[in-house]
Structure 1
Amino acid sequence: MLNSTFHKLITTIMGFSCYMYLVNVLLLLSSIYFDLNSAKSTLTSAQFIRDPVIITSDNDAFRLGFFSPNNTSNRYVGIWYLDESNVIWVANKFDPVKDSSGIFTIYEDGNLVVLNELKQVVWSSNVSTVASNSTAQLLDSGNLILIDGTTGDTVWESFQHPSDTMVPKMKLSSNKITGKKMRVSSWKSLSDPSTGFYSLTLERLNAPELIFWVNESRPYWRSGPWNGKIFIGSLAMSTTGWSVGNEEDGSVYLVFNFPDNSSFTTVGLDPQGKFKFAYWNKRLENKDNKRVKRVIIAVAVIVGTIALAACAYLSWKLTAKQTGSRKKMIKDKTQVKLEELPLVSFEKLATATNNFHSSNMLGRGGFGVVYKGKLQDGQEIAVKMLSRASVQGLEQFMNEVAVISKLQHRNLIKLIGCCAEGEEKMLIYEFMPNKSLDTFLFDPIQKSVLDWRKRYDIIEGVARGLLYLHKDSRLKIIHRDLKASNILLDGQMNPKISDFGLARIFKDNEDQVNTRRVMGTYGYMPPEYAMKGLFSEKSDVYSFGVLLLEIVNGKRNTSFYDNEETLSLVEFAWKLWNEDNIISLIDQDIANSGYENQILRCIQIGLLCVQEVARERPTMTAVVSMLSNESVNLPPPRQVAFIPPRKNLWSEESQQPYSINSVTVTDMQGR
């Protein structure tokens, strides 16, 4: 389609001088596209929509047809408001059509269907009894309905099968009798509209409230109950326009219809689980003046085509030059940094790993593969090999070189050397025979090796390693991915912090950094980083607190803990603390070790580290002092951060389009 093609063209020439002109041309050509390719709002059994033809609602606000999300050529049938950047519903979200030969039509059984390039049905409205002469209509509300040709009844509607978005007058319902629930589910990613990790439903129907879920099983936010006017737990949803009602069939529903008729509003979930609130000013054209518009369109087509052709050529030349320069810069920078380390030949590493045999593979990540090896002098090593195809992996790989080559501490993994021959990039580390902490801690049999003294030694060792990173090394380092699987254990079970691919070096005058590219492990990230991109040394303190609670409890932070509802370990610990029953958190394998007071002190330190407000968390200097000096009284912990703060759950968007690409934008804040 013209829109997606032009969008891809524009994104390749960001920053080029003709960009703003192309945007204006694109808007004009979009108007042409809608006028020349739009059909009326009704589809009969004798008609079909072949990509790229669309149909529009009578008020010209909603379109139905094939579209492609960002960064993919897959084709989906969807409904959007005004243009394809505002998709509100997707039909074949699990089975895209691979080219532009798709068809949307009423099948011989009377159902709406999407047919792929082989004329196979990849999606159906799946109504069991409907007349073959049924019709479909796209309403002014954005609802697509299927009408039985014999009875005239609506037998199916898109509003009853939501995707990631709700629009005004659309009801989100749950039935008290049947248990049937409508569920709004996020896209898997901005380029994949299949069902993602996050969803929301209307629950607790006697006092209805919205509950947000991870993987449809674990709640991570609640709106609070409906009191007849507002959801009492959500300031963001206290505006007028929301209402809750009851149907005769036992359904309870939530609907919104904001009173401001000059704007159009949608709410929904983005792929990161944020509740997005988007609005547009209504500026529909007067038929909205069609003669004048046709003259403008004719001129725009001619001028736009010439401009696009010229800019396409210039952008191709510019992109090719920039790509070549960037590749050369990365290659040169990589070579220089690697040559600062002790070099080991590729031949020696191939011999040490038995030609990188699969039996020696220790693990695999986004960067590539890690192998076990043994040098000729008998030294055992771990070889981290960068995948040639991983651009992001190269950035993390080089970041790890920049960080860990300048560090040396007994509780940090030691970098022995590197290999840089041709396209091969490898780092060589000391080998840890006991692998990582999670292989022991979360295994019901292996964790018996970890008595309390050993666990306490690991806690102290990790704390001292972080203190070195934050304060004692000549560089201030924030790790950003501290977790049990990144704590390696040597032959004596001494802990060593590893994997510095996401670590950041802070300057002397920096206290906090803001990034739009949040990377790490969910469950170990503090809320200010997960929701806002803010990170500091208190981010590592939070992750350490989660790790400390895991070591005491022997279960992952994301495990199940309560019979009534699913709780994270942090939430469960906070619940027990407030019930004055924190002793129940202790792993039974260490419960009778004779160190109860020390264990309880560690739990309290962990809760102090995971407090919701970052400035209230202790520094690692204070944490090490708390661990080593048991005579110091500890303050009681305040509210912990086991869910995203409500104020961060909302993502408001205006009608202006925007994108977040793979470039990290960083803002520095001084002390």
Structure 2
Amino acid sequence: MTRLRCSCCGKPVQQRRYSGGEGLSFKGLLQIVGVKRSSVLLGGAFDLSKVSDSKIAIELGRISGRRRHTSAYENIEVFLRGSTLMPIRYSYKDIKKMTKSFKDKLGEGGFGSVYKGKLRSGAFVAIKMLGKSKGNGQDFISEVATIGRIHHANVVRLIGFCVERSKCTLVYEFMPNGSLDKYISSKDDVINLTYKKMYEISIGVARGIAYLHQGCDMQILHFDIKPHNILLDENFIPKVSDFGLAKLYPNDNSIVNLTAARGTIGYMAPELFYKNIGGVSYKADVYSFGMLLMEMASKRRNLNPHADRSSQLFFPYWIYNQLIEENEIEMDEITDEESSNVKKMFIIALWCIQLKPSDRPAMNKVIEMLEGNIENIEMPPKPSFCPNEIIEEDLEVKSNEIESDSVGFIEEDTTEPLLMNSA
């Protein structure tokens, strides 16, 4: 139950203001959270028992983000005061102690830096020091409002945070095996994961995304699913991470409103760029997962600008043609069982990257297909958009419109997410 305390009870109800709402009127609050005035108990305090804490928290966060004349720190503090779903709040002194004055640096990117730390319990943590906050602190608010309330085996856990003026810090559970990215773009000093392990990881990632979409009282759309944002624990259990671009929506919303396209080129759904394809929904994450799944199955990037033939420039096209023509796809050191699972991953990935959002499966269906028999999965239609034109045009024309930097962590990410005005 959420209770907002009235600070001016002598005034008429319509003129009152409430702490945690940054000057938000009683009438305005009810309109935002969708509660009838008759269902609210009037008195010194107001009982919004029919409204989830998460809904009030995110709406207050949105309000604070719209007040552009206030500082990022003030907006963040307003959000924190209005939410009851927070992890532990640490002081900056605590953060310095955990990191031994930021001694062990794990990675760096446009978001800031990540350091290895240690709690008093002895558990290791990854401490993400955000750079100068953009969007009046909305990146910090988005991350805490979403991941701060999630508990799932395949979603990275936010242990705590620190906000002291310009210093914004997030404390995560430590993932010793880093990001999936380095296992896809093979390097000599990195363990070569088996196809069996890649298949197991793909199911874990699918479960994590499905939980975001349907496992919470608010639907969470990630908008930046990519290899760099999938972290691996000591047992190579995958965890979806980095919620800086995420958005919360009511579960009954099928289509969401966005004022800007968000994500990373190469993984972004076409509807984020082109409005005539279909509305933006959770199917945008399904598309991103499909592109990720394609790379996991092949252990290579989907886009190869150095390909000898144009048919090999965009790997999903090439894979589709091989599957339709029933050609053998050559892979090193692979068993018959692994070969069957890899083929299944390719087919499911092709379903996920269909042009129309309505043609893509929901993540629960994706899990069902991954765990099921390959004979029960039909071949999808060929992806119907022209990837060369879309990707090359967006890289050339829209790269100058980037407004947000990479917010991944653990290693430096070379594929930066975009936050740009929709086409």
Q: How far is the alpha carbon of 1:444 from its aligned partner?
A: 4.3
Q: Where does residue 304 of structure 2 map in the other structure?
A: 559
What's the offset of the Cα at 1:594? 3.9
TM-score by length of 2: 0.70
Q: Could you tell me how far 1:432 is from its partner in structure 2?
A: 0.2
Kept in 2: contact 1:367–1:393 (CA 8 A) = no
Query: Residue 516 of structure 1: CA displacement?
Result: 3.8
From 422, 432, 447, the counterpart of 2:175: 432
Q: What secondary structure, in the 3-state scheme, does the structure 2 residue paired with 1:636 have?
A: coil
**Are residue 336 (structure 1) and residue 85 (structure 2) matched?**
no
Match of 2:196 in 1: 453
Aligned partners of 1:502, 1:463: CA distance in 2, in Å?
A: 19
1:547 alignment counterpart: 292
* Aligned partners of 1:413 and 1:430 also within 8 Å: yes
Distance in 2 between the 1:336 and 1:494 partners? Answer: 34
- The answer to whether 1:367 aligns with 2:111 is yes
The structure with the greater share of residues assigned to helix is 2
Partner in structure 1 of residue 244 of structure 2: 501
Contact 1:610 1:641 in 2 (8 A): no
Q: Which amino acid aligns with 1:491?
A: E
* Map of 1:579 onto structure 2: 325
Flag the 1:490–1:560 CA change in 2: closer, same or farther, 3 A: same
- 1:432, 1:393 → 2: CA distance? 29
1:399–1:503 CA contact under 8 A, matched in 2: yes
Q: Is the 8 A contact 1:367 1:397 kept in 2?
A: no
Deviation at 1:418, TM superposition (A): 1.1
- The CA deviation at 1:450 is 1.0
The gaps in structure 1 that reach 5 residues or longer are 1-321, 652-658, 667-671
**Residue in 1 aligned with 2:255?**
512
Q: Distance in 2 between matches of 1:374 and 1:573?
A: 45
Structure 2, unmatched stretches of 5+, are 1-66, 395-400, 405-418
Is 2:140 the counterpart of 1:397? yes
Q: What residue in structure 2 maps to residue 346 of structure 1?
A: 92
| Compared CA separation, residues 403 and 444, structure 1 to 2 (3 A) | same
**How far is the alpha carbon of 1:402 from its aligned partner?**
0.5
CA distance in 2, matches of 1:428, 1:354: 15
Determine the C-alpha separation between the residues in 1 that align with 2:372 and 2:347: 14
Deviation of 1:435 after TM superposition, in Å, equals: 0.4
Q: CA deviation at 1:436?
A: 0.3
Name the amino acid aligned to 1:354.
K
The AA in structure 1 aligned to 2:372 is N
Which residue is 2:332 aligned to?
588
Contact 2:222–2:245 (Cα < 8 Å) also in 1: yes
Structure 2 counterpart of 1:621, which letter? N
Match of 2:372 among 626, 629, 649: 629
Corresponding letter in the other structure for 1:574: Y
Q: CA deviation at 1:345?
A: 2.5
Q: Deviations over 1:287-345 (max 9, x none)?
A: xxxxxxxxxxxxxxxxxxxxxxxxxxxxxxxxxxx754465751432442688321222
- Rate the CA distance shift 1:457–1:327 in 2: closer, same or farther, 3 A: closer
Q: Which has the higher strand share?
A: 1
Deviation, structure 1 residue 364: 2.5
* Deviation of 1:433 (Å): 0.3
1:385 paired residue number: 129
What is the rounded CA distance, in whole Å, between the counterparts of 1:384 and 1:543 in structure 2?
Answer: 24
Identity of aligned residues (%): 35
Note the C-alpha offset of 1:577.
Answer: 2.7
Match for residue 56 of structure 2? none
Matched residue, 2:412? none
C-alpha distance 333-608 of structure 1, shift in aligned 2 (>3 A):
same
1:640 equivalent to 2:383? Answer yes
Q: Aligned pair in 2 of structure 1 residues 351, 592: CA closer, same or farther (>3 Å)?
A: same
Task: State how far apart, in whole Å, the 2-side matches of 1:621 and 1:393 are.
Answer: 35
- Cα deviation, 1:429-466, whole Å, max 9, x if unaligned, reads 00000000111221143565311221111011001111
Deviation at 1:543, TM superposition (A): 1.0
Instruction: Give the deviation of 1:627 after TM superposition.
Output: 1.5
- Judge which range, 398-407 or 636-645, deviates more: 636-645
1:441 and 2:215 are equivalent in the alignment: no
State the Cα distance separating 1:504 from its structure 2 match.
1.3
Counterpart residue type for residue 304 of structure 2: S
- The one-character-per-residue Cα deviations of 1:26-50 (angstroms, maximum 9, x if unpaired) are xxxxxxxxxxxxxxxxxxxxxxxxx
Please give the alpha-carbon distance, in whole angstroms, between the structure 1 residues aligned to 2:339 and 2:403: 50
For 1:333, the aligned partner's letter is V
Confirm whether residue 421 of structure 1 aligns to residue 164 of structure 2. Answer: yes
The residue matched to 1:520 in structure 2 has which SS? strand
**3-state SS in 1 of match to 2:126:** strand
Give the residue type in structure 2 aligned to 1:381. Answer: V
User: Structure 2: how far apart are the matches of 1:660 and 1:431?
Assistant: 30
Secondary structure of 1:515's counterpart equals coil
CA contact (8 A) 2:217 2:251 kept: no
Matching residue's letter, 2:113: V
Shift of 1:539: 1.0
The residue type paired with residue 320 of structure 2 is W
Partner of 2:228: 485
TM, length-normalised to structure 1: 0.45
Residues 441 and 647 of structure 1: CA distance in aligned 2, closer, same or farther (over 3 Å): closer
**Is the 2:340–2:374 Cα contact (8 Å) retained in structure 1?**
no
SS of the equivalent of 1:372 reads: strand
Distance in 2 separating the partners of 1:551 and 1:429:
25
Shift of the 553–561 alpha-carbon distance from structure 1 to 2, 3 Å rule, reads farther
Aligned-partner SS, 1:403? helix
Note the 1:134-149 alignment, pairs <5 A: none
8 A Cα contact 1:527 1:644, kept in partner: no
- Paired with 1:624 and 1:633, the residues of 2 have a C-alpha distance of 13
In structure 2, distance between residues paired with 1:430 and 1:647: 37
Match of 1:530 among 264, 269, 273: 273
RMSD over aligned CA atoms reads 3.2
Q: Distance in 2 between matches of 1:512 and 1:343?
A: 34
Report Cα offsets for 1:273-298 as digits up to 9, x if no partner: xxxxxxxxxxxxxxxxxxxxxxxxxx
The C-alpha deviation readout for 1:596-645, integer Å capped at 9, x for no partner, is 22221221111111112211111111111111221761121112156359
Aligned match of 1:475: 218
Cα 1:641/1:353, change in 2 over 3 Å: farther
In structure 2, the residue corresponding to 1:543 is in which secondary structure? helix
SS in 2 for 1:400: helix
What amino acid does structure 2 have at the position aligned with 1:507? P
Bigger Cα Rg: 1
